[in-house]
Amino acid sequence: MRTRTREKYQSANKLAHSKATALLRYVALVAALLFSLAPVYWMLTISLKTEVEQFASPPPWFVFTPTLEHYYDAFVARGFGDYLLTSAIVAVASTACALIIGTLAAYALARFELPWRLNRRLSLWILSTRMFPAIVTAVPLFLMMRDLRLLNTRASLIIVYTGFNLPFVVWMMRGFFADLPRDLEEAALVDGDSRLGALVRVVLPLVTPGLAATAVFCLIVSWNEFLFALVLTQTDAAMTLPVGIAGRVTQYEIKWGVMSAAASVAIIPILVFALSVQKYLVRGLSMGAVKG
Amino acid sequence: MQKSRRFFSALNKRELLLPALFLAPALAVLLALSIYPLIYSITISLQQETVAGITWGLGNFARLFSDNFFLTALGHTFIYAISALVCEFLLGLGLALLLNNQIRGRGVFRASLLIPMMLPSVVVGVVWRLMLNPNFGSINGTLKQIGINTESLTWTASPKLAMLSVIAVDVWQWTPFVFLVLLAGLQAIPQEPYEAALIDGSSRWQTFWHVTLPLLKPSILIVLLLRTMDLLRVFDQIFILTEGGPGFATETISLYIYRTAFRFFDFGYAAAMSFVLLALTNVISAIYIRLIQAEPN
C-alpha cells in the first residue's frame, strides 16, 4: 500500500528525473558497497599472502598465491590461540551473568508498579551508567582490581563486562517485555501460577527471540571491547584477542601477516553474530531507542 | 471464584518484595562497578603525591587550566567529533534518502554495510593501517598505479594528514549506522503528509524540507546523540592507528588520560581530566535529551 502511493508520488515527477535518480541510486549503492568491503577484503588478502607479495608493487588485489603460514604462525607458534580462548570465555561468561541479572531487573521495571516513580527513575539511572565514557571508569577500576589482586585475570574482565553489558540488557529486555501483552501473564496467574512461575513458563519463552538478540549483542560488545582489556590485562594469562593484536601493532617490527591473520579470525564470530541479529540491529545499536 | 480473587489481588496490590529481589542484583552490580569507581575516582583526583607525602586539595584540577597538552587534546577531540559527525550525518542521510525505496539487492546491501560497524575497533585499526601504509598500503599502491605521485601522502605518519586519516576511518566505520537508523526513521513516516504535499503541488525540495526533515527529526536527534557520545570518548582506533601521533597530532582526551594514568602513573591527574570529559558528555547529552523530549512523541 505504502509503496504504491510512493510510486504514484514519484510518477508525478518528470520521467527523466526519476531515471537519473535510479541511476544515481545504483551508483551510490555500488560505491558504498566497495567502500565498505574493500578494506576488509584487503586485510584478508594480506593474511593469505607471502611476505614478498605483501610488499609487492603495484598491490596485488586479486592475483596472488595464497598461503596459510601466517595463521599457523599466529595460532600455533605464537600465543593467539590462548587469546582466542580467553576472549571466548570472557564473552560467554559475562554475557550469561549480564543476561540473568539484567532480565530479572528488566522484568521488575516493566511489570511491577513501583513506588516513588521508581520505574522511570531507576531505568534512566541504569541507562546513565552506560553513558559514562569508558576511560572515566577504567582508571578507578584498574586501581580497584589492583587492590583486589585481580589484575591479569579473566575474572576481572568477566566482572567488568558484566557491569558494562547490564544496562544494555535491562533496556533491551524492558522493551521486549513491554511489547508483550499483559493478558498472557494474567491468564497464567489466574491459573494459579506464581509471578516467578509466570515469568519462567509464560513470558520468557515468548521473549526468546529478543533474549537471543540481546545475548548476541552482549557477546559482540564483550568480544570487541578493547580499553578495559588493555588496562586490566597485560600478560598472556588473561589477554584477549584485541589486546593481543594491539600488542603486535605497536611493536617496532610489525608482523603484518600474523596480525592480519589474527584480526581475520577475530571477525569470524562477529560476522556470524551480526548476520543473525540483523532484524534487531538498529534497535540494539540504539539501546532500544529506535525500533527499526 | 477463589482463583479470580487471587488474580485481582496479585495485579492490583503493590508488590514490593518480589520486584526488590529482582532488582537487587542489578543495582548491586551497578553500584559496585559504576558508582563506587566514580567515588573512588573523586578521592584520587583530590590527592597529589609530593615529596612530603600525599596532600589533599584541588591541585589536579588547577593544573588542567595551565596544561597545554590537555587543552590541545580537548581541541583535537572537538575537531574529531564535529568533523566526523557532520560527514557521517550528511553521508548517512543522503544514502538513506536514496535507498528509501524498493530496490533489488537491498538485503545484501544492508548485510554488507553491517560489516564495518560490527568489527572490533582494533581490527578497524589494523585494516586501515594496512590500507594507509605509505610503503605497501593499497591506497598509495593503487594511486601510484594510476600515475599519481604519492610521496607526500604519508597519511597517519604525516602531522598534516593524520587527523584527516583517523576521521576518515571513523566515517568509514560509522556512516552505515547513521544510515540504518535514518532509514528506519524514514520508513516509519506515514504516507499521508506526502500525499498532502503532492496535492498541494509542492516541489521535491519543499517536500523534503517541510515534510521529511521535520518528521525525521526524532531519529536524527537520537542518532546524533549516540554518535556524539561515542566520538567524544574515542580511543581504540586512534590508539591502534597513530597512538595519538605523530607527535601529538591526533591525541584526543581519552588517549591523553590513558597516557597520564598508565604511562606516567599519575592517576590523580588522570582522574581529574576524566571528570572534565564526563562533565562534557553529560552537558552535551543533556542538551540532546532536552531536544528529544521537546519532540511531540
**ipTM of the complex model:** 0.87
- Please check whether residues B88 and B121 belong to one and the same domain: yes
Average pLDDT value over all residues in chain B: 86
The alpha carbons of chain A give a radius of gyration, in whole angstroms, of 24
- Please check whether residues B127 and B23 belong to one and the same domain: no
pLDDT for position A6: 54
The arithmetic mean of pLDDT across residues A197-208, rounded, is 87
Collapsed DSSP state (helix, strand, coil) of residue A108: helix
Say yes or no for a CB contact (<8 Å) between A139 and B267.
Answer: yes
pLDDT for position B139: 81
CATH for B88: 1.10.3720.10
* Structural domain includes residue B270: yes
d(CA B81, CA A26): 30
Query: What is the extent of the structural domain holding B134?
Result: 62-293
- Chain B positions touching A164 (Cβ under 8 A) are 33
**Is the torsion defined by CA of B267, B254, A122, A197 positive or negative?**
negative
pLDDT for position A12: 52
Q: Please say whether the beta carbons of B292 and B221 come within 8 A.
A: yes
Q: B4 pLDDT exceeds 80?
A: no
Closest CA to A47 of B123, B152, B272: B123
Give the chain B residue nearest A12 (alpha carbons). Answer: B198
pLDDT for position A1: 47
- Please check whether residues B191 and B218 belong to one and the same domain: yes
Instruction: pLDDT band for A252, please (50, 70, 90 cuts).
Output: low
**% of residues, chain B, pLDDT over 70:** 94
d(CA A203, CA B81): 42
| CB atoms closer than 10 angstroms to residue B30 | 23
- In angstroms, how far is the first alpha carbon of chain B from the final one? 42
d(CA B17, CA B92): 47
**% of residues, chain A, pLDDT over 70:** 91
Mutate to test the interface with A, among B12, B15, B23 (most CBs of A within 10 A): B23
pLDDT for position B140: 79
d(CA A75, CA A91): 19
Q: Please say whether the beta carbons of B262 and A161 come within 8 A.
A: no
Q: Please say whether the beta carbons of A233 and A239 come within 8 A.
A: yes
- Please check whether residues B218 and B143 belong to one and the same domain: yes
Average pLDDT value over all residues in chain A: 85
- Please check whether residues B146 and B223 belong to one and the same domain: yes
The arithmetic mean of pLDDT across residues A186-213, rounded, is 85
Structurally, chain B folds into a number of domains equal to 2
* Structural domain includes residue B50: no
CB-nearest partner of B7 from A6, A190, A231: A190
* Cell representation of residue A59: 598491490
Over the stretch B68-98, which tens digit does the pLDDT of each residue have?
999 999 999 999 999 999 999 999 999 888 8
- Please check whether residues B152 and B18 belong to one and the same domain: no
Over the stretch B52-67, which tens digit does the pLDDT of each residue have?
778 888 888 988 888 9
* Cell representation of residue A228: 578495559
* Structural domain includes residue B55: no
The alpha carbons of chain B give a radius of gyration, in whole angstroms, of 25
- Please check whether residues B40 and B129 belong to one and the same domain: no
Collapsed DSSP state (helix, strand, coil) of residue B238: helix
d(CA B15, CA A74): 56
Instruction: pLDDT band for A15, please (50, 70, 90 cuts).
Output: low
Q: Which of residues 6-65 of B touch A (CB under 8 A)?
A: 6-7, 10-11, 14-16, 18-20, 22-23, 25-27, 29-30, 32-38, 40-41, 44
Q: Which residue would you say has higher pLDDT here, A156 or B142?
A: A156
- Please check whether residues B160 and B67 belong to one and the same domain: yes
Say if B220 is an interface residue toward chain A (CB within 8 Å): no
Q: Which residue would you say has higher pLDDT here, B9 or A205?
A: A205
Instruction: pLDDT band for B145, please (50, 70, 90 cuts).
Output: confident
Closest CA to B77 of B154, B142, B170: B170
- Please check whether residues B21 and B138 belong to one and the same domain: no
Give me the total of CB pairs closer than 8 Å, taking one residue from chain A and one from chain B.
315
Over the stretch A71-120, which tens digit does the pLDDT of each residue have?
988 888 888 889 999 999 999 999 999 999 999 999 999 988 888 888 88
* Cell representation of residue A194: 506464581
- Please check whether residues B108 and B34 belong to one and the same domain: no
Q: Which of A13-17, A38-42, B149-153, B245-249 has the highest mean pLDDT?
A: A38-42
Collapsed DSSP state (helix, strand, coil) of residue B55: strand
- Chain B positions touching A282 (Cβ under 8 A) are 180-181, 184
Q: Min CA distance, B296 vs chain A (Å)?
A: 15
Residue B74 to residues A115, B28, B43, B79, B274: CA-CA distances in angstroms?
Answer: 42, 34, 23, 9, 11
d(CA B262, CA B91): 37
Q: Where are the alpha helices (DSSP H) in A112-255?
A: 118-130, 134-147, 154-179, 183-190, 195-198, 204-206, 208-224, 227-232, 241-249
- Please check whether residues B6 and B133 belong to one and the same domain: no
Q: B104 pLDDT exceeds 80?
A: no
- Please check whether residues B20 and B129 belong to one and the same domain: no
pLDDT for position B211: 87
